[in-house]
Structure 1
């Protein structure tokens, strides 16, 4: 039995679907099982569970041989970093009680860095906690998800300007479709753990893009003229605040992009394995534009 936490998210759904396609038994864990109708249709067992509820996690792991762990940043919390660290601590305590499990933990590019990387620092914390708790551990570090551009896509289509925190707009950066992350995670779960030590795998898409390329692809997908706009640094926090983020969450994102623009965040050189997805940005944007137009 393969257990998927975060099964209602893009990555979790893709992992579950890939495992079911390969004929594996899958248990999808969600706070609200009613959101898992699609997973039920493909043969997943769906159970209620919460990463902040140890008892529900233990129940979800009953009879499992492997588990995919995703600890998301909770944007609704006043202090998202503290809340995510608490979730990680809870998950680590649970995993320590199930040492036989192969754990595939979703992490980020740059998680090896121990300072000044914003949200990525939380994945540094996750990796350290899980290394201590799970003796059969695989870390899957993913580049920035292509689907993250959905947050600014409506404004870009309305104004013809795509605001970017990537500076300069002609600098290439790694990115990957959430679907490809899920597919690679399913492969790693099927593979089983490394014989010795922690397995580290990094995944990104088939090519790298600059913000100006992202704008061009969005224009092609929408049939509109779109240009990239490097959002001035002093407008980052006010813009994020207007988007509904509290000050603590905004600071995590600002620190993250400062680190990215300083070229500190990338695949860790010489460490682990590298995988490359097959999904192009145009394919992702075609779906995002279609969803936007359907509103």
Structure 2
């Protein structure tokens, strides 16, 4: 049995579905029962748990042999990094005496030590915690999720703009959640002793200008990338509902990404889903509301 933590989200659901497509047994761990019937119809077992409940998580983990682990994002209106460290601690504590034989965990490009670095710091600490415990673990460092651009569909439709903290011509490794799901499923099915660090991205690196062009092609209208200057990042993040702490953390993570040395393509696994394909499917799945 494969236990999929975070099956509510893009990557967790893609991992669960990739395993079900291979006729593998899956327990989808959800934070509420809202999607329970859907997953049961797909052929998965369902467990509902609060990720902070160590005993409940351990009971679920004991039902399987392999675990896909994804630390859920915290509400940006809170001190998100602090809250995410709490969930990391609970998940790692639940691994003790779980009987699991292998873990595959989702991390991120650029993971590194640091207190106010958003996911870069939190997921680095997750990697270190997994290395310090006894269950064999494979780590996926995923590139920037293409699904992070989902919210841009509204402004692309309404005003022909894609807003970005990155310069329009900045090339960034990106990956579709379905490609991360395929990579995670493959690693879960490997021998327990086969572990390591795996970088996964898409077939090319893309800029915000490429994102705008993809939306333009899918929507059949002009779309441009509009950069938010660094001096305006705090104000923009506050308008998006970020707390002071979360805004500081997200801004630091974004700045580090702008200065990052990304791994060479020869050292990464490249999934097949292109950015234009991802955006085209997003537009098809979310038709405009009547009257818009």
State if a TM-score over 0.5 links the two structures.
Answer: yes
Match of 1:189 in 2: 188
Question: SS where residue 105 of structure 2 aligns?
Answer: strand
Aligned partners of 2:61 and 2:95 also within 8 Å:
no
Verify: 1:91 aligned to 2:91, yes or no: yes
Q: How does 1:94-109 map to 2 (within 5 A)?
A: 94-98=94-98, 100-109=100-109
Distance in 2, matches of 1:239 and 1:152, equals 15
The Cα offsets for residues 9-54 of structure 1, whole Å up to 9 and x where unpaired, read as 1111111111111111111111212313222112101111222111
Partner of 1:286: 280
Q: Does 1:228 align with 2:232?
A: no
* Residue 239 (structure 2) pairs with residue 242 (structure 1): yes
Residue 180 of structure 2 contacts residue 200 of structure 2 at CA under 8 Å; is this kept in 1?
Answer: yes
Deviation at residue 5 of structure 1 after TM alignment = 0.7
Structure 2 equivalent of residue 201 of structure 1: 198
Correspondences of 1:115-264 after superposition (within 5 Å): 115=114, 117-167=117-167, 169-195=168-194, 198-264=195-261
Q: Give me the whole-angstrom Cα distance separating, in 1, the residues matched to 2:148 and 2:8.
A: 16
The aligned counterpart of 1:25 is: 25
Contact 1:170/1:212 (CA < 8 Å) preserved in 2?
yes
| Superposed CA offset, 1:151-204 (max 9, x none) | 23312332222221113x212110000111111101110113344xx5111100
* Preserved contact between residue 64 and residue 100 of structure 2 (Cα < 8 Å): no
Deviation, 1:291, is 4.3
Q: Distance in 2 between matches of 1:247 and 1:37?
A: 38
> How many angstroms does 1:134 deviate by?
4.1
What SS does the aligned partner of 1:133 have? coil
Q: In 1, Cα distance between the equivalents of 2:38 and 2:25?
A: 15
CA distance in structure 2 between the aligned counterparts of 1:191 and 1:148, rounded to whole angstroms: 29
Question: How has the CA–CA distance of structure 1 residues 43 and 57 changed in structure 2, closer, same or farther, with 3 Å as cutoff?
Answer: same
Shift of 1:99: 5.6
Segments of structure 2 that go 5 or more residues without pairing to the other structure are none
- TM-superposed CA distance for 1:58, in Å, is 1.3
Gaps of 5+ in 1: none
Distance in 1, Cα, partners of 2:236 & 2:191 = 43
TM-score normalised over the length of structure 1? 0.91
CA RMSD of superposed structures (Å): 2.0
Deviations, residues 53-85 of structure 1 (Å, cap 9, x unaligned): 112111211231100011122125621111111
| Aligned partners of 2:140 and 2:200 also within 8 Å | yes
- Matched residue, 1:267: 263
Contact 2:170–2:207 (Cα < 8 Å) also in 1: yes
Shift in alpha-carbon separation, 1:252–1:31, aligned structure 2, 3 A: same
Structure 1 Cα separation of the partners of residues 17 and 121 of structure 2? 30
